Structure 1
């Protein structure tokens, strides 16, 4: 398997990288970060960019830092780096837990957090994490910098709000004070998940004060399950409340069936993942009080 011919640039600044995307616009250029998704697609000729802009030497993109109440993840921060980071464990433990489900260690040592989010695979873990955390995407293009809320970023399978000449330079993840959980079902560990669930719950005075639940593998994009969140807020978080949230979340789901699972099976798996994810997040929220 070999990709079709392409040209290749290695800029050292974001401005130069954007300029290269504009210069090679007619060649359908693509940005290369970790390459763990793009390169296999090119080898199978499912993606055929005429020019690659490699971000590995762009200064400042490998930064992982705390900025007030946000964890800021640069475009070249490797998944393995984030998985082991004390800053991530403190400010975004949901991300750290989800990263343990992403493929296998060799992949995580090359793949990037931001690259996975930009790839927008509807079955991937990290887009669902970004959605649950209300992340902001910092994007740079010819007109300068803009920020896109995660809820507006994912438009379809492998499709985002990024313009062709724009680069996703960082993802900003707000802290969530409370419990977290990431649960998924895959046929074997490291394989593409059939369903994944990201859950966040805060508890005050014995009742749920805030909840955020997102799922992957049940729609053409990761989805925020607002009905589950509404069912949880104000409740004590007992088994009855969890089951009501699971019912509310799955009532509106209409996943597509495929070779991995029928629509009905995928919905059943989503119920199991939701029950475990919400329950674990609640237990952790109680433990942190």
Structure 2
């Protein structure tokens, strides 16, 4: 569901803050000259800045990979609210859902409190539904009840006219492995490009392309190629992820946001 209330559609924004985890940090998109990933949020900032070339457009990205929703609520939301940005994107909770024993009611509470704090600061808030992991990842069926519950919760928040909801769950294009990086958790550059367009559409911008459209058919992969891909994934990505969970570490430990200040955006 994309909320298209008049308070969000076609409004011009002079400032934008992105909060969240690796999804919003931009993991696995193209690398920028400073070594950070670009990501869909940077792409959105570039489009919004281009709408008003004669006025300064300010942008901050506080997202850090690996963050849980409680950390986003405690570490990022207060700073984002204090910046009093006109637009904030808020994505979080999937890292919690991926962990066994996730308290989904607590996740919803933290997400709802985060959205409320940002709305109270005067922002238009953009929220997201997760893609459907069961359509592309074997063994992910256990996640579906929590994903569906989060989807309904986010759509409920979208009843507020100050909230826009980007529905990624209902877009089958994200079933295509080419929209995902080798780790199968983070978007590829094409995936980031499509999410950016989805956000802009939710904000009422004219479509630059159909972000829901399927990619051209991919060449078939043989069994040997699939096996090599699975082995690389197990060794390079799943194994290290499990080790971090067992040792209580996160990929974002000690990492600072890539754009900690609400500063003029220069593409």
Q: TM-score, normalised by structure 2?
A: 0.30
Greater strand fraction, Structure 1 or Structure 2:
1
- Of the two, which has the highest radius of gyration? 1
The higher-RCO structure (CA 8 Å, 6+ apart) is 2
Report which of the two has the higher share of helix: 2
